[in-house]
Chains A and B, each alone.
Chain A
Amino acid sequence: MSDPVLSTLNLNKSFGALKATDDVSIDLKSGEIHAIIGPNGAGKSTLIQQICGGLQPDSGRVLLNGQDVSGQSTQARARAGMGRTFQISQLCMEDTVLENAVLGVMGAEHLAWRFWRPALKRPSLRDRAEAALERVGLSDDRDTRCANLSHGQRRQLEVAVALTLSPKAFVMDEPMAGLGAEGSKRLTGFLDGLRQEAPILLVEHDMDAVFALADRISVLVYGKVIATGTADEIRTNREVRDAYLGDEA
Chain B
Amino acid sequence: MRLNEKYFNALMIAGLLALPLWAVVADQPFTITLVTRAVILALAAVGLNIILGIGGMVSFGHAVFFGIGGYAMGILAYHAQTYTALDLGPFSTDGTKSMPVIWLVAMILSGLVAFFIGLLSLRTSGVYFIMITLAFGQMFFYFAISWAQYGGEDGLSIYVRNDFPGLNTLAPIQFYGICFTLLCVVLFLFARLQASPFGLALNAARQTPTRVETVGLNPMRLKLLAFVLSGAITGLAGALFADLNRFVSPTMFSWQLSGELIVLIIIGGVGRLMGPVIGACVFVALEHFLGELTDFWHVYLGVVLLCIVLFGRGGLIGLLTGKEGVHV
Contact = CB atoms under 8 A, between A and B. Distances in A.
Given A106-B201, A112-B198, A115-B192, A91 B208 contact: yes
Contacts of B208: 90-92
A106 B214 contact: no
B80 interface: no
Contacts of A86: 210, 214
Contacts of B213: 53, 73-75, 78
Interface in A73-130: 73-76, 78-79, 84, 86, 90-95, 99, 102-104, 106-108, 111-120, 122, 125
A165 interface: yes
B215 A119 contact: no
B207 A75 contact: no
B196 A117 contact: yes
B207 A93 contact: yes
Contact of B200 (A75, A99, A161): A99
Contact of A90 (B214, B216, B222): B214
A119 B196 contact: yes
Given A74-B213, A75-B216, A95 B201 contact: no
Interface residues of B, number: 25
A119 B214 contact: no
A93 B327 CA distance: 11
B216 A119 contact: no
Contacts of B218: 73, 75
Given A93-B207, A112-B201, A104 B215 contact: yes
Interface residues of A, number: 38
B196, B215, B222: which has the most chain A beta carbons within 10 Å?
B215
A156 to B, nearest CB: 15
Contacts of B211: 90-92, 103, 161
B212 interface: yes
Contacts of A94: 203, 207, 326-327
A95 B204 contact: yes
Contacts of B89: none
B195 interface: yes
B199 interface: yes
B203 A92 contact: yes
Given A92-B207, A112-B201, A120 B214 contact: no
Interface of A: 52-53, 73-76, 78-79, 84, 86, 90-95, 99, 102-104, 106-108, 111-120, 122, 125, 161, 164-165
Interface of B: 192-193, 195-201, 203-204, 207-208, 210-218, 222, 326-327
Per CB-CB distance, the 4 closest pairs between chain A and chain B, nearest first, are A107-B215, A78-B216, A118-B195, A107-B216
